[in-house]
Amino acid sequence: MECRLTDDWENTENIIIYGFGKVAHDNLDFFKNNFNIVYIVDSDKSKCNIEYKGIAVKYVDDVKDELKNYKIIIMTANRNVELVGKDLEKLGFISGENFCSMEQFLTEWFWKYKKKACLMEVHSTITSRCTLKCRHCNMFMPYYKEQIDYTAIDILADLELLFRHVDYIVSYRLLGGEPLLNKELADMIELIGQKYGDRIGNIGIITNGTLLPSEKLIEVSKKYDIKYDFSDYTDVVDYKERFENAVQIVSDANLRYSVNRSLRWCDFGFPVNNRMYDFDKVREHMLSCGPIFHGLNDGKYYYCHVSWSADKAKLLKTVPDDYLDLRVLNDDENAKEMILEHSKGNLAKGFVKLCKICGGCGNDNTEFVKAAQQM
């Protein structure tokens, strides 16, 4: 597998993290355990001049002359990676030499120098059922004609297939639909934690906060240090009291959590008004979207988890280039490299089929809609 990092990355011990948002909060522990984080920088001054887990958070303009002494890893949502990269280039830094994205570092550096296949973030959908019916749901849940639920055994089987070829996953998330509707959620966490807790940096649940976690779920969450990512749609849907109660239960249990308040979403167009991108521009469009998370369901590993859901909802049939069928991969280094290449978007055809008609979440999509508008 090609490594685009220059040779002087080999003995990297001291790094600077660029970005102090949700991505950094979710993944910082892994890097803290493997490298010396000199400090964190951010371009938002309101986030800076504090200390987090013993690491100073500094305003990037205050330390821009010092950055050249270290390797910089951009730890932001993919939509912002390109923008941060351009800001660093204005300061005279070179991509692959002075800085890289977190996913590039994980896939390329750990493979080249440690012979380990590390993935940044993997998501598994455990139910298509949801308590909301968002018109622009990015997983198309309101459009499912037949609802699906996965069992704890189903999810564990998928992870067993992936871990035949992968050494470590930094972040793993269970989602839906609304995952708390799946009655086996607590059992899933127990099985995953028991078998793979030492090979996953952090496990989390993405929930809209319309349902209250059960005592059983809270207990197993405490056992395996589960993180709850709450999506707050209470400005659009009337469930503020229930949402606050759900957050309070998690907070009272001293569990890690975040509250993400989206005011707007990218308008995919699909499946109502397809975008239709020119064939010679589809790959560029796909890389602009470039999800930092990839999908794991039905024994297959997807570059774009959204494309899996489009297929499952019977909106658009995927093609073999869109995924790797883990059930047929051989147990050798070639399989590991195939997964790493797929994670980087190096697909046989060059792009995911859905990308031809989906607006995606990249900087080239400037169409937005109000978050969580109901059908």
* Residue where one domain finishes, among candidates 85, 114, 143: 114
Q: Are residues 45 and 32 in the same domain?
A: yes
Please tell me the total count of domains within the chain. 2
Range of the domain at 173: 118-370
3-state secondary structure of 371: coil
Q: Are residues 74 and 204 in the same domain?
A: no
Type and span of the H or E element at 73: strand 71-74
Q: What is the pLDDT of residues 61-86, one digit of tens each?
A: 999 999 999 999 999 987 789 899 99
1 inside domain: no
Q: Are residues 338 and 230 in the same domain?
A: yes
Q: Are residues 67 and 191 in the same domain?
A: no
**Please, what sign has the CA dihedral across residues 251, 256, 257, 258?**
positive
Measured from the Cβ of residue 340, the count of other Cβ atoms closer than 10 Å reads 21
Asked whether residue 263 carries a pLDDT value surpassing 90, the answer given is: no
Q: Are residues 90 and 134 in the same domain?
A: no
2 inside domain: no
For residues 284 and 328, what is the distance between their CA atoms, to the nearest angstrom?
A: 29
Q: What is the pLDDT of residues 53-62, one digit of tens each?
A: 999 999 999 9
Q: Are residues 182 and 242 in the same domain?
A: yes
Q: Are residues 275 and 340 in the same domain?
A: yes
Q: Are residues 108 and 126 in the same domain?
A: no
Which positions ≥6 away from 332 have C-beta within 8 Å?
A: none
Asked whether residue 332 carries a pLDDT value surpassing 80, the answer given is: no
Report pLDDT for 67: 94
3-state secondary structure of 122: strand
CATH number for the domain including 339? 3.20.20.70
Asked whether residue 353 carries a pLDDT value surpassing 90, the answer given is: yes
Report pLDDT for 48: 95
Question: Sorting pLDDT into bands at 50, 70 and 90, what band is 2?
Answer: confident
Asked whether residue 266 carries a pLDDT value surpassing 90, the answer given is: yes
For residues 15 and 8, what is the distance between their CA atoms, to the nearest angstrom?
A: 13
Asked whether residue 241 carries a pLDDT value surpassing 80, the answer given is: yes
Mean pLDDT computed over 148-159:
98
Q: Are residues 177 and 301 in the same domain?
A: yes
366 inside domain: yes
215 inside domain: yes
For residues 20 and 23, what is the distance between their CA atoms, to the nearest angstrom?
A: 8
Q: Are residues 109 and 193 in the same domain?
A: no
- Helix axis angle, 240-252 relative to 215-223, nearest 10°? 40
Report pLDDT for 333: 79
For residues 286 and 109, what is the distance between their CA atoms, to the nearest angstrom?
A: 23
CATH number for the domain including 75? 3.40.50.720
Report pLDDT for 82: 87
* Residue where one domain finishes, among candidates 114, 147, 172: 114
264 inside domain: yes
375 inside domain: no
58 inside domain: yes
Asked whether residue 356 carries a pLDDT value surpassing 90, the answer given is: yes
Mean pLDDT computed over 160-176:
97
Q: Are residues 311 and 336 in the same domain?
A: yes
* Residue where one domain finishes, among candidates 114, 130, 152: 114
Report pLDDT for 216: 98
Q: Are residues 322 and 264 in the same domain?
A: yes
23 inside domain: yes
